[in-house]
Amino acid sequence: MNAAGARGGNEVESDLQNWRDIFYTSRDGLRLYSRHYSAPTASQRPVVCIPGLTRNARDFHILATHLSDPANPRARDVYAVDLRGRGRSARDPNWKNYNVQMEMLDVLDLMTVAGLHKPAIIGTSRGGLIAMLMATARPASMGAVVLNDIGPVIERDGLTRIVAYTGRVPLPASWREAASLVESMNKRYFPALPAGDWEHLARDWFDDANGRPANSYDQNLAKTMSLLDGPAATFWPQFEALSYLPTFALRGELSDVLSDQTLHEMRVRHPRLETLVVPGQGHAPLLREPETCRAIADFLAAAEG
């Protein structure tokens, strides 16, 4: 495995780039990508951010900037990954490799390349499932975990909605059209989001190709969405494997993926679980507003011990 730096990123952020691009090779030979937000004087535990099914490292830009801010005495290095087939990571010629087991190995490969020892993992949706799997497969690999709107039970309504759009969203012809599309798909779950933020989200959720929106993930991901063919899987053993770790579970108040009932049961089964309900947001909380960023920073600081 190897790593190399190069300038890049979405056009909207390129003039203000505060991260280093890392390209590394997975154990099966795929070229993968991560952003590294460096805090040169940091003595705190580093963080690895893992996005959701069709999402990418850009989702964590605001949170990573907050956590790595050199003016913050609790600053820490942050790595935000593009899972294989997403963002700037290579598409896998075998779509069956788009599974949480293989993606977990990719994250572990990054940790090896970057020399990370017991980092905190922040996992949004599928990224949280990867964190739970890591707790069973490599229990000594993590120091703390933040689960963003994901738990051992995935609500069928939310799963159905995700299946419906994965690989099926029409490609917008312009950034204005992209913003309108993102708003129409998500306004119900983020009703208080300021109108001007929809284009920012669109630029996170789509790649930029010569000034126009492009797909940010391999459309073959749709072939992996077979969970509706039978009873919904649950992940209680994987979640309970986190019981030895400080764990912080976020739930969007309007989430259709993580229910209040499941969050309550998570508190019962995990003696060290802290929770936060993010008001006015659905699946998954955007991790952009100052209050949520501060709550995560406070949790990570408390987990150092």
Per-residue pLDDT tens digits for 108-142: 999 999 999 999 999 999 999 999 999 999 999 99
For residue 174, the tally of other CB atoms under 10 A from its CB is: 11
Residue 279 has pLDDT above 90, yes or no: yes
Q: Which H or E element spans position 117?
A: none
Alpha-carbon dihedral angle through residues 91, 95, 101, 106, given to the nearest 10 degrees: -10
Residue 5 has pLDDT above 60, yes or no: no
Residue 14 has pLDDT above 60, yes or no: no
pLDDT of residue 3: 47
How many distinct structural domains can be found in the chain?
2
Percent of the chain with pLDDT over 90: 84
For the record, the structure tokens of 10 come out as 């979405």
Q: Are residues 210 and 269 in the same domain?
A: no
Please give the backbone phi and psi of residue 289, each rounded to the nearest 5 degrees, phi first. -80, 150
- What's the predicted TM-score (pTM) here? 0.94
Name residue, tokens 């969405």: 225
Residue 223 in any domain: the answer is no
Residue 146 has pLDDT above 50, yes or no: yes
Residue 146 in any domain: the answer is yes
**Considering 186, 216, 246, which residue would you say is the last residue of a domain?**
216
Rg (CA), the chain: 18
The answer to whether 110 and 77 are in contact (CB under 8 A) is no
Alpha-carbon dihedral angle through residues 236, 237, 239, 240, given to the nearest 10 degrees: 110
Strand segments, DSSP code E, in 16-119 are 20-25, 31-37, 47-50, 78-82
β-bridge pairing 120-124 and 207-209: unpaired
Q: Are residues 90 and 160 in the same domain?
A: yes
Entry field: residues in the chain:
305
Please give the backbone phi and psi of residue 206, each rounded to the nearest 5 degrees, phi first. -115, 150
Residue 26 in any domain: the answer is yes
Q: What is the pLDDT of residues 61-106, one digit of tens each?
A: 999 999 999 988 899 999 999 999 999 999 999 999 999 999 999 9
The CA-based angle 210-288-171, given to 5 degrees, is 30
Residue 303 has pLDDT above 50, yes or no: yes
Q: In whole angstroms, give the CA distance from residue 150 to residue 304.
A: 23
CATH of residue 76: 3.40.50.1820
Q: Are residues 12 and 120 in the same domain?
A: yes
β-bridge pairing 31-37 and 273-278: unpaired
Residue 221 in any domain: the answer is no
Average pLDDT over the chain, rounded to an integer: 92
Residues spanned by the domain of 204:
168-216
Across the range 15-30, mean pLDDT stands at: 92
Q: Are residues 113 and 187 in the same domain?
A: no
Q: In whole angstroms, give the CA distance from residue 234 to residue 227.
A: 11
Q: In whole angstroms, give the CA distance from residue 122 to residue 145.
A: 6
Residue 222 in any domain: the answer is no
Q: Are residues 78 and 211 in the same domain?
A: no
The CA-based angle 144-151-125, given to 5 degrees, is 80
